[in-house]
């Protein structure tokens, strides 16, 4: 035991290293500055702008104007009618689908789920495009059967948004149903309860938290969607499109800010309710949990298979028709199959916007994960009021519609007095905006990962003389990196498909693919629009497969990149 003589001297440790608490404070200040600059200040600007009268000075005149204009009040009514209808239909379908996935013995469950989640790979407007190709003025079904039916308006929006919101609801409902405990079902059966009675008294109550939280998410996703509304809304205006009309069409920034506030309010309430419910939800899995074993039941399984099949057919048809449309010469005039739209696109900038999208999405993948992980780390390590305030501002963007955040960025970064004005119109600002638009989701993922890494590891490392940087580098990050990779995939996907957050911020040089789809559709070049939408989907899928392949190659399996 000679090495025992080499007792280390704590004093040298003291001077040779930076104080952990000071370092944490520096991180905390950095994160605060970023959150103020890219979240709080833009929101404040909108708030302020909505209360500034066109003549200058604080007043309520913008709000008075808004609520005394029947057209604008009608838009509020439209928005709620469409959103609530969509929420009800989506919830019924998603619950049915999730129930079939958990409680029935139907085959090919993995395939069905993959199909159900596939809308996540595409911009929301792909559904509107799909419905247009099927039931629009020149839609396939309309032309074939001469239906004389117009999809534009209320029902078009409801259908498109239902498909768009469906995977969001399924993700929540499926996991809340999956925590069904075999023992409870066995005891219910032993007590003589019928299938329907078990469904009513066991299944539904057990999944009530999931039901409520899914409903609020669907509500928020639908009310804030811009892509579907702009393409298939027709004369049926909603708040999200009205912000665009006011700002881009009429350059009325004050009224645009008021519409933003009116849209922000219900969205924030829905997201706030969702957070509240999620927090109240008791721990889903206890250590004695016995997962459900489904027994095949012929008639029931057959009915479920038909339902699931129909839902998936609808999803595939709508996306499939867009891919098909991208392969015809010029919808609907020349329906010859060709690769013309991909090989010789008649576009101003060619495929540059797609490269812009990919580049922007890669930046977002890195930026989004970095800022959310650092924010989560600071909040996790610190306690007290500062930490709670940071937490609030970190999840606040989750309650802010993309259109609203985007408009806030115009107010802040299109202001010549702002030293950061050089960011305006750059891909970097699109990337920053997207990172902060989805900040809440990334932040919550990261903070959950930090919580899962036992606090004992931190303490063990500190006892052995490790600084927080060393602990993070050698212990924490090596343990949680799979969830960070998943989070960066999430940011990448969102950045590829996002439209609402960037519609106000792009410049000719930084046009991204999702914007081009809207522009082409507006020009009536439907096939080219379809081709661009398909390319976005394809890029996401290629990127995912490549990453999964790379991870396989270095010997990492069993890590699912989505969900």
Partner 1 sequence: MTLQNVTKRFDKTVAVDRISLEVEEGELVFFLGPSGCGKTTLLRVIAGLEIPDTGKILLQGNDLAFRPARLRNFGMVFQSYSLFPNMTLAQNVSYGLECHRWTNDAKQKRVKELLGMMHLEDHKDKYPSQLSGGQQQRVALARALAPNPLVLLLDEPLSALDAKVRAELRGEVRDLQKGFGITTVMVTHDQEEAMEMADRIVVMNQGGIEQVGTSTDLYYRPANIFVAHFLGKMNRLRLDRPGLNPPTLAGRRLCGAGDEGRQTASVYVRPEAVEILKDSRPGTNRFAGRVIKTSFLGNLTRVEMEVAGQPLAAELRYTGASSLQAGEEVTVYFPPEAILTIVDSQ
Among 186, 346, 459, 522, contact with partner 1 (rule: CB under 8 A): 459
Q: Following CA atoms 267, 270, 271, 274 in sequence, which dihedral angle do they give, to the nearest 10 degrees? A: -170
Please enumerate in sequence order all residues whose Cβ is within 8 A of that of 251, keeping only pairs 6 or more positions apart, or say none. none
Tell me how far, at minimum, the Cβ of 11 lies from partner 1, in Å: 9
Residue closer to partner 1 by CB (options 341, 449) is 449
In this complex, which beta carbon is closest to partner 1, that of residue 149 or of residue 481?
A: 481
Closer Cβ to partner 1, 4 or 144, answer by number:
4
Provide the greatest CA pair distance for the chain. Answer: 95
Would you call 52 helix, strand, or coil by DSSP? Answer: strand
Q: Least distance from C-beta 476 to partner 1, angstroms?
A: 9
Residues 395-454 that bind partner 1 (CB under 8 A): 454
Q: With CB under 8 A, what is the number of residues at the site for partner 1?
A: 28
Does 553 interact with partner 1 (rule: CB under 8 A)? no
Q: H-helix or E-strand containing 337? A: strand 334-337
Q: Which is nearer to partner 1, 408 or 466 (CB)?
A: 466
Cis peptide before 332 (omega within 30 of 0): yes
Give the C-alpha distances (Å, rounded to integers) separating 526 from 39, 321, 328.
36, 12, 10
Q: How far is CA 354 from CA 269, 361, 367, 437, 547, in A?
A: 35, 10, 19, 21, 19
Can residue 186 be called a binding residue for partner 1 (CB under 8 A)?
Answer: no
Query: Could you tell me the smallest distance in angstroms from the CB atom of residue 84 to partner 1?
Result: 44
**Would you count residue 470 as binding partner 1 (CB under 8 A)?**
yes
- 560 vs 556: CA distance, rounded Å: 10
Of the two residues 200 and 473, which places its CB atom closer to partner 1 in the complex? 473
Binds partner 1 (CB under 8 A): choice among 4, 251, 553, 554: 4
- Which lies closer to partner 1 via its Cβ, residue 432 or residue 480? 480
Query: Segment near partner 1 (CB under 8 A), from 51-59, 256-264, 409-417, 474-482?
Result: 474-482
Whole-number Å distance between alpha carbons of 20 and 446: 21
When the beta carbons of 74 and 478 are compared against partner 1, the nearer one is 478
How many of the other CB atoms lie within 10 Å of CB of 413?
Answer: 24
By CB under 8 A, which span of 124-132, 336-344, 350-358, 471-479 interacts with partner 1? 471-479
Judged by beta carbon, residue 23 or residue 305, the one nearer partner 1 is 23
The 10 Å CB-count burial string (b at 16+, else e) for 260-276 is bbbbbebbbebbebbbe
Q: Which of 274/458 has CB closer to partner 1? A: 458
Q: By rule CB under 8 A, what string of x and - marks binding of each residue 19-38 to partner 1? A: -xx-----------------
Q: Which is nearer to partner 1, 24 or 547 (CB)?
A: 24
The span of 415-423, 432-440, 465-473, 546-554 binding partner 1 (CB under 8 A) equals 465-473
Contacts of 375 (CB under 8 A, 6+ apart): 31, 35, 390, 394, 439, 443, 446
CB of 451 to partner 1, least distance (A): 15
Instruction: Establish if 14 lies at the interface with partner 1 (CB under 8 A).
Output: yes
Query: Are 514 and 499 in contact, with CB atoms under 8 Å apart?
Result: yes
Site for partner 1, residues 262 to 321, rule: CB under 8 A: none
DSSP structural state of residue 201:
I
d(CA 133, CA 138): 7
Residue 464 near partner 1 by CB under 8 A: yes
> Does 460 contact partner 1 by CB under 8 A?
yes
Cα 53 from Cα 42, distance rounded (Å): 19
383: contact with partner 1 by CB under 8 A: no
Near partner 1 by CB under 8 A: residue from 74, 205, 465, 524: 465
State in angstroms the smallest separation of the CB of 19 from partner 1: 8
| 462 lies in the binding site for partner 1 (CB under 8 A) | yes
| DSSP-based three-state secondary structure for 9 | coil
Residue 144: count of CB within 10 angstroms of its CB: 8
**Minimal distance, residue 17 CB to partner 1, in Å:** 8
Q: Which residues contact 393 (CB under 8 A, 6 or more apart)?
A: 32, 35, 36, 39, 40
554 contributes a contact to partner 1 by CB under 8 A: no
Tell me the C-alpha distance between 499 and 521, whole Å.
14
As a whole number of Å, the CA-based R_g of the chain is 26
The only residue of 124, 246, 267, 461 in contact with partner 1, by rule CB under 8 A: 461
Residues forming the site for partner 1 (CB under 8 A): 1, 3-4, 6-8, 10, 13-14, 20-21, 454, 456-457, 459-467, 470, 474-475, 478-479
């Amino acid at each position: 035991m000679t090495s025992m003589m080499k007792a280390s001297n704590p004093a040298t440790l003291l001077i040779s290293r930076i104080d952990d608490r000071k370092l944490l404070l520096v991180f905390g200040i950095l994160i605060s500055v970023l959150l103020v600059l890219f979240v709080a200040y833009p929101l404040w600007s909108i708030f302020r702008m909505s209360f500034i009268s066109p003549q200058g000075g604080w007043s309520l005149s913008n709000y008075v104007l808004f609520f005394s204009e029947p057209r604008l009040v009608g838009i509020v009514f439209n928005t709620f009618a469409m959103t609530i209808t969509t929420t009800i239909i989506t919830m019924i379908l998603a619950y049915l689908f999730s129930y079939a996935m958990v409680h029935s013995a139907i085959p090919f469950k993995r395939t069905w789920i993959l199909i159900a989640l596939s809308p996540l790979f595409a911009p929301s407007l792909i559904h509107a495009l799909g419905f247009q190709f099927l039931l629009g003025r020149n839609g396939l079904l309309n032309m074939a059967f001469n239906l004389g039916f117009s999809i534009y308006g209320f029902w078009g929006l409801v259908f498109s948004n239902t498909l768009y919101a469906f995977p969001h609801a399924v993700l929540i409902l499926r996991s809340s149903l999956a925590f069904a405990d075999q023992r409870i079902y066995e005891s219910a059966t032993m007590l003589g309860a019928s299938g329907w009675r078990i469904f009513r008294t066991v299944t539904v109550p057990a999944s009530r938290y999931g039901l409520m939280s899914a409903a609020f998410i669907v509500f928020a996703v639908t009310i804030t969607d811009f892509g579907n509304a702009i393409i298939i809304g027709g004369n049926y205006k909603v708040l999200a499109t009205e912000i665009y009309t006011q700002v881009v069409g009429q350059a009325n920034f004050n009224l645009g800010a008021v519409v933003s506030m009116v849209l922000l309010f219900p969205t924030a309430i829905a997201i706030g309710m969702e957070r509240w419910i999620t927090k109240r939800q008791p721990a889903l899995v206890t250590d004695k949990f016995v997962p459900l074993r489904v027994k095949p039941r012929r008639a029931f399984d057959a009915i479920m298979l038909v339902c699931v099949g129909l839902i998936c057919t609808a999803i595939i048809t709508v996306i499939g028709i867009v891919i098909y449309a991208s392969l015809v010469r010029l919808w609907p005039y020349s329906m010859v199959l060709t690769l013309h739209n991909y090989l010789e696109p008649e576009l101003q900038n060619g495929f540059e916007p797609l490269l812009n999208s990919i580049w922007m999405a890669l930046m977002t993948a890195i930026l989004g994960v970095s800022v959310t992980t650092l924010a989560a780390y600071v909040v996790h390590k610190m306690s007290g009021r500062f930490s709670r305030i940071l937490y609030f501002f970190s999840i606040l963007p989750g309650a802010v519609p993309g259109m609203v955040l985007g408009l806030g960025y115009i107010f802040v970064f299109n202001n010549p007095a702002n030293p950061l004005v050089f960011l305006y119109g750059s891909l970097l600002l699109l990337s920053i905006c997207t990172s902060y638009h989805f900040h809440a989701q990334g932040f919550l993922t990261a903070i959950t990962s930090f919580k899962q890494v036992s606090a004992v590891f931190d303490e063990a490392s500190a006892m052995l003389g490790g600084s927080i940087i060393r602990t993070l580098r050698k212990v924490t990050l090596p343990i949680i990196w799979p969830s960070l990779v998943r989070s960066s995939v999430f940011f990448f996907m969102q950045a590829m498909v996002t439209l609402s957050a960037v519609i106000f911020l792009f410049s000719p040089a930084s046009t991204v693919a999702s914007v081009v789809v809207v522009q082409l559709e507006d020009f009536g070049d439907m096939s080219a629009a379809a081709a661009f939408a398909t390319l976005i989907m394809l890029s996401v899928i290629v990127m995912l497969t490549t990453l999964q392949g790379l991870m396989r190659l270095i010997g990492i399996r069993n890590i699912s990149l989505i969900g």
